[in-house]
Structure 1
């Protein structure tokens, strides 16, 4: 298994041999780095470190070579798995929304957008965004990116998966079917208002991490991954959960094309739903390779 890690600079890592190296064509040095998977292609966004005023990210699609996609203050995978939506900054208070192919060409004419908008994910039903991010008026909205029309809106949309939205609540979750408009509340196995939700690539499962930075009000960090079956809305706890970790903020989850859930937390582990245990990579992640995001293949 090979991973592209959001280290500084970004790293290509082989989970079995431990071989690693920089991503050619992407700026090196001590920078802010993130990785977003678009279909089978990792997209890297990187910028100089900042304290108050931050520069837009330089964006690259990596498929053996790094293809520059320009600068952006936010980006999200396109529903076609071959493009990204980006918010570009024209002036300190002036931004625009653009649709860009992974080859770097602009698709369509673009439209004006708030620089405080965070792009999340495009589905066949629209583009999921967070409006007024970081303020008391923060709200999640599914919009038609061509017209700006609101398709669905909620205080907390945790994920958009095919025809479904998963909404967060104080004690429960709500699954919205965008096809027929139905809503169904489900009781999570762990009470948490804002768990991390990572949809599988085919959209039939969602990995939900109920990790805690202060387990039972202690100084212990824990990770607790559950699987939500989106066909019957039942829960299955992943093996060996929960477990304590020192890397809650620096590790991540992703899915492979084969339907394996991949976790990096000191080691790289893969689990296929139904298997009794995680499969561990042979190579440990060195301290310098601890990551905040990962794209697995």
Structure 2
């Protein structure tokens, strides 16, 4: 049988020298060079744990200074995931209590073997690694949610009540977390938006996601309204149907597009002025210039043509001033 060559630090809390020796033999049978430290009672084990760290704690449930449930309650949450309980008697209630607290395993001393003990140790260590990975993953998810620069919220699909909101939601809407948890999705919408909101969420009868292109109106705590686009996914938490949503503020985008539309309208007006209003007097002036070549300007017909030419020039000047005025208005509008 090939021994495990990994480094294990094991604390055995056991007052019986005979049982301690038996446990050491079992460990050495499966592990090449474990570091084994012994504590004869609970008090001394706590002193050792304050000074050193261990991969596994083999803990006798019947110590001289504390036993059973009192021992579990005093063990400390940080040690549960490292602890394998050893007992002389089977106690179903105590076993259930130990497992619910997160203790790794519960082994009867009469049934213990080197194989069972080693298996329990490996399982406990791997379980703790997986728990650490899960906690790290949960922390990353939590950070992605709470630190996301976009407003995000989690809500109950039956009641539409807020369950969680991130920091961006607090800044965007002006509510505190306790205030948000008293609100529903209807409370952040103007009354005239309720029906369109209900219609949008009928989508979830057939799909588990929603990305809107339509803009919805929301309102802040102070009553100020703004426009958002909603992206939402369905998730289940403890069997509860929930929605995880992002509300992207598109007010600036909306205002920008509106400004572009106004600019285009102004440009169309300027283009129309150039192509029609300006060209008309200019065409007349060009025609008059051709006629002038064949007339004596001192004659009556010549004077009429000259006056008509002057009138066309004044009309052209007026049109150019209107174009300049519109251009200046457009520049001021855009700069704002």
Higher helix share: 2
- TM-score between both structures, scaled by the size of structure 2: 0.18
**Which structure exhibits the higher relative contact order, with contacts defined as CA atoms closer than 8 Å and separated by 6 or more residues?**
1
- From the CA coordinates, give the structure whose radius of gyration is larger: 2
- TM-score between both structures, scaled by the size of structure 1: 0.20
